[in-house]
Chains A and B, each alone.
Chain A
Amino acid sequence: MQGLSRHGNLIALVVLALVLAVLPIYLPNNYQVSILIFVGLNTILTVGLSLLMGYAGQISLGHAVFYGMGGYATGILAIRFGWSPLAAMSAAAMLTGLIAYCVGIPILRLRGNYLAMATLGLNVIFSLILSQQTDWTGGPNGLGNIPKLSIGKLSFTSDVQFYYLVWFAALGVLTLSLNIVNSRFGRALRAIHGSEVAAEMMGVDAGHYKTVVFALSAVYASIAGSLYAFWISLISPSVVSVNFSVELVVMVAIGGLASVWGAIFGAAAVTLLTEFLRNMLPQILSGASGEQEIIAFGLILMIIMIVLPEGLTTGTLRRLRRWRAERAAVKEIQESVEIMGAP
């Protein structure tokens, strides 16, 4: 979305930060706060994925891998090696970024369908390893007793404290990404999305840029994974499911493929919708176990991609702009007809 100027971005960020800051005061209970924490975590993930999918035009159906990698690396470093939470989290982010960079070099040479399947394959292999390497990961039961996060004298134990922490991180990621999008790097990514060959002709090292943005989005995911692990204090293979990877793609698609602001909208929309459906469906359908929300998911995904292939935000904005332009054109014609003195 080229919609907002730098100035507009800054204002929007400040407004968002203020709204988020006062929001917990008006929330009646921890349940709502915890949903908003999930929205924040998903925002961090989705912003990274939207850089990769929307700006660089590469699909990843295995992004949950990096989320899980961050969470597991943090947990293992904190529990087995007794690292301080913050050090564990930073090391996990760096490690995940490095692994993503190395994996990205060969994998990102694939395109379209093949890239989708390869990343999906990565996801399946990674969840298998997590379930099998019981010594390190705790196997199917997961890794429990992850210590709470504390930075200096600040320790994050309650949900509300975590809410502020997660959104602080999410806004940081958002700011960084908005700057990246409006930089030389972001323009190079868009050029690659437009046409890789053309971009290379203009001197853009497409392979390098794609790998870097892949690694960057993995670092974001790792940070979200670490925060999740600290918050829940348990991380299990279910976090790394293919379904979650798909869900992340849904969030990006709903928000608009090339839109950092859309990503936050998509994360919020999908997370809230999932919760809503999970609560509502059992009441509508007798015997519904609450898992049936996936059907609504699938339908929404298809409809959005068919009707608004650019996503809800970007697509709607563009349609609105086109409509306005058409109306202006019609008006202009009418005026010129009047000037010419037509009957």
Chain B
Amino acid sequence: MSLPSQIVQLLFSGITVGSIYALIALGFVVIYNVTGIINFAQGEFAVLGALIAVTLSQDTPIFGRAVKVTLDLPLPIAIVAAVLIVSVIGILLYELAIRPAKGASVVSLIIITIGASITLRGLALITWSTDPFRLPNFTVGAPLQIFGAFLILQNFWVIGAAAVILMLLFLFFERTMTGKALRACSINRLAARLMGIDINRMAMFSFALSAAIGAIAGIVITPSTFMGYDSGELLGLKGFVAAIMGGMDSAVGAVIGGLALGILEALGAGFISSAYKDAIAFVMLFLILAARLSGLLGASAKQQESGL
């Protein structure tokens, strides 16, 4: 493969993977801005979304292969159902674990969401055991060929999903009352409450929304990579890095961060070393945190830092 086509290929796969990171980062950003919590269980939402969609749409052995689910719902219905179920899980997470711990310290909240992620992973393990699962491609067809690079159709779904969700979120936050209330919470929780916004409801809503986004991320990527009970850990970590790269406070930032991280990873894997691909995200994390601390990103970033 010639160098230009290799670059196109790498860029395309970078943008695809980056879209997934972007979606997960969006989930982090939504919860963080409304509640001030980093939800370490974010990657688990993606796994649950994907595995539930698989279970609803194809014959799947669960509970240690003791039960076989043969619902065989059509894929679109299964996907919608999976996203809804994961949203409910998000709500339950907030109501059962986060809300009762009102006023807990940052360290306690971190440990709680870590506990939640372990619990969800354990539930996934019990339900689906260690088997890897895959969804069929959403559309059948030969890969597109551009500049000698082969572009798989499913990847367009992934990129499209990220673009559509970003657009919907934009409309939601700008044009609807609930969206504006959520934004009010992220600007000043106390003032929002004084304006009559039910901040508990908003927090619950942010968990539902970010669980749904996470689930969609998991579902669109599952046709191209295997999904198992423990895939959420790395997805969550990289989504977090993407969110930090985007500044943690805006949806657009999260998407740019996700795409940048995906492209860097793809280029790094292609030109430097594929073995250390996963390390790239964390090296980026350190660089960005160092830049933030030294005040490269301006006073606001620094101020935020001290508030954490």
The segment out of A66-74, A165-173, A174-182, A300-308 that lies at the interface is: A300-308
Residue-wise interface mask of A (121-142) relative to B, using a CB-CB cutoff of 8 A (1 in contact, 0 not): 1101100110010000000000
For B129, the chain A residues whose CB sits under 8 A away are 287, 289
- A302 to B107, Cβ gap below 8 A? no
The count of chain B contact residues (Cβ–Cβ below 8 Å) is: 52
**B285 pairs with A117, CB closer than 8 A:** yes
Kindly state the separation between the CA atoms of A52 and B294 in the bound complex, as whole angstroms.
24
**Min CB gap B2→A, angstroms:** 29
List the B side residues contacting A125 at CB < 8 Å. 279, 282-283
Which chain B residue shows the least CB distance to A110? Answer: B289
**B197 close to chain A: CB less than 8 A:** no
Q: Which of B226-243 contact A (CB under 8 A)?
A: 233-234, 237, 240-241
- Residue in contact with B100 in the complex, picked from A120, A246, A306, CB distance below 8 Å: A306
B116 at the A/B interface (Cβ < 8 Å)? yes
- A interface residues (Cβ-Cβ under 8 A, vs B): 53, 57, 59, 61, 106, 109-114, 116-118, 120-122, 124-125, 128-129, 132, 242, 246, 249-250, 253, 257, 285-289, 291-292, 294-302, 305-306, 309
User: Closest chain B residue to A299 by CB distance?
Assistant: B119
Q: Are B237 and A120 in contact (CB under 8 A)?
A: yes
| A117-B240 contact given A106-B290, A289-B130, A306-B112, CB 8 Å threshold | yes
**Interface stretch (choices B19-27, B58-66, B79-87, B178-186):** B58-66
Residue of B at shortest CB range from A301?
A: B115
In the docked arrangement, what's the CA distance between A288 and B129, Å?
A: 8
B156 at the interface (CB under 8 A from A): no
Is B171 an interface residue, CB under 8 A from the partner? no
| Pair B125/A294 contact, Cβ less than 8 Å | yes
CB B233 to nearest CB in A, in angstroms, measures 7
Residue of A nearest to B64 (CB): A287
**Do A292 and B125 touch across chains, with their CB atoms under 8 A apart?**
yes
Taking CB atoms, residues of chain B closer than 8 Å to A57 are 107
Pairwise interchain contact A299-B115, C-beta atoms closer than 8 A = yes
Q: Is the CB of B116 within 8 A of A302?
A: yes
CB neighbors of A among B91-141 (8 A): 97, 100-101, 104-108, 110-112, 114-123, 125-126, 129-130
Are the CB atoms of A242 and B112 closer together than 8 Å? no
A302 to B118, CA, bound (A): 10
11 new A-B contacts, CB < 8 A, other than A128-B278, A295-B125, are A61-B114, A111-B308, A114-B244, A117-B285, A124-B282, A125-B283, A287-B65, A296-B122, A299-B119, A309-B101, A309-B105
Instruction: Look across to chain B and name the residue whose beta carbon is closest to the beta carbon of A297.
Output: B118
Contact A287 B279 (CB under 8 A): no
- Most A CB contacts (10 A, CB to CB) among B111, B123, B276, B289 go to B111
Known contacts being A117-B38, A121-B282, A132-B275, is A298 close to B289, with CB within 8 Å? no
Residues of A within 8 Å of B233, CB to CB, are 242
Is A53 in contact with B116, judged by CB distance below 8 angstroms? Answer: no
B106 → A minimal CB distance (Å): 4
Nearest B-chain residue to A57, judged by Cβ: B107
3 tightest Cβ-Cβ pairs between the two chains A and B:
A287-B64, A295-B122, A298-B118
A-B contact pairs, 19 of them (CB 8 A): A53-B107, A112-B106, A112-B308, A114-B305, A116-B38, A118-B285, A118-B289, A121-B282, A121-B285, A124-B237, A128-B279, A249-B114, A257-B107, A294-B125, A295-B123, A298-B118, A301-B112, A305-B104, A305-B111
